[in-house]
Structure formats: structure tokens, C-alpha cells
């Protein structure tokens, strides 16, 4: 793994938050935890994100060891993103955040506007 370009904080909780900080990184990780995803599939799962931002976020996550980018020698080239063991370690954290978000919505009587937390089986590769 290459040395991260940006220096990360020494306090572990601050380091963890820095690595997954941003609007899209936790969501991207949420989707790649279930299995390899192509860029086009991730874009379809998150239509609000621009292609430029998606690629930027994936590169940062790759730099920090959360995802692996695999290029297949095909024409046209196929690229898949997969959660690494380090990235998979965040699965319980993401699930806990999702469940907290549901409780928060319930407390504010906004439960009708919230999606379920879905724990996806790994290697769910449907239309990846």
C-alpha cells in the first residue's frame, strides 16, 4: 500500500473520522462491502454524486486502504472496486450509524421518510 499523501491525525478517533469523512465515503463503502462494484454500478446506486466526485472519493479510499481497485485486461477495460479487510472492518460501524439514524428519525417523527438498514450478504453481485 502506498504511503498516504496527506498526514493523518495521531488521535485514533480523529484519524478514523478523517479517513471516512465526507458525504459520500460511508455510502460508497456501504455499497462495496457487499461485494465488488463497477464504477457504473456505484453511479447508478448514487445518482446524486457526480462522476468526478465518485472517482475522487474512491481514490482517497484506495489511498487509505479501504477499497481495492482491480483493472481487468479486457476490451473495453473493466474496473471493479472491492472493500479491503480494513474497509470490511467498518461494517459494524456503518450498521450502527444506520441504526442510530433510524432512531433519530423516530425521535423526530420522521420515520416515514427513512429507509431500512439493510445488511447485504457479501458477494451479492447482481448487475455489478
Share of the chain above pLDDT 90, in %: 65
Determine the Cα–Cα distance for residues 69 and 80; give it in Å rounded to an integer. 6
Write the CA distances from 66 to 16, 20, 96, integer angstroms: 11, 9, 18
pLDDT at 127: 41
Average pLDDT of the chain, as a whole number:
87
Helix or strand run (H / E) with residue 97? helix 91-107
pTM above 0.85, yes or no: no
In the chain, where the domains are located: 12-84
12-84 is a CATH 1.10.10.10 domain = yes
Per DSSP, the three-state class of 51 is: helix
| Whether 28 contacts 54, CB under 8 Å | yes
Dump pLDDT digits (tens) for 56-111.
999 999 999 999 999 998 888 889 999 999 999 999 999 999 899 999 999 999 88
Amino acid at each position: 500500500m502506498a504511503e498516504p499523501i496527506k498526514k493523518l491525525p495521531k488521535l485514533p478517533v480523529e484519524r478514523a473520522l478523517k479517513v471516512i469523512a465526507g458525504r459520500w465515503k460511508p455510502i460508497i463503502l456501504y455499497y462495496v462491502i457487499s461485494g465488488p462494484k463497477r464504477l457504473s454500478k456505484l453511479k447508478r446506486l448514487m445518482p446524486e454524486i457526480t462522476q468526478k466526485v465518485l472517482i475522487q472519493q474512491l481514490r482517497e479510499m484506495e489511498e487509505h486502504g479501504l477499497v481495492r481497485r482491480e483493472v481487468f485486461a479486457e476490451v473495453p477495460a473493466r474496473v471493479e472496486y472491492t472493500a479491503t479487510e480494513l474497509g470490511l472492518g467498518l461494517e459494524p460501524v456503518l450498521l450502527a450509524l444506520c441504526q442510530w439514524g433510524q432512531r433519530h428519525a423516530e425521535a423526530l417523527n420522521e420515520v416515514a421518510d427513512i429507509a431500512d438498514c439493510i445488511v447485504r450478504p457479501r458477494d451479492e453481485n447482481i448487475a455489478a
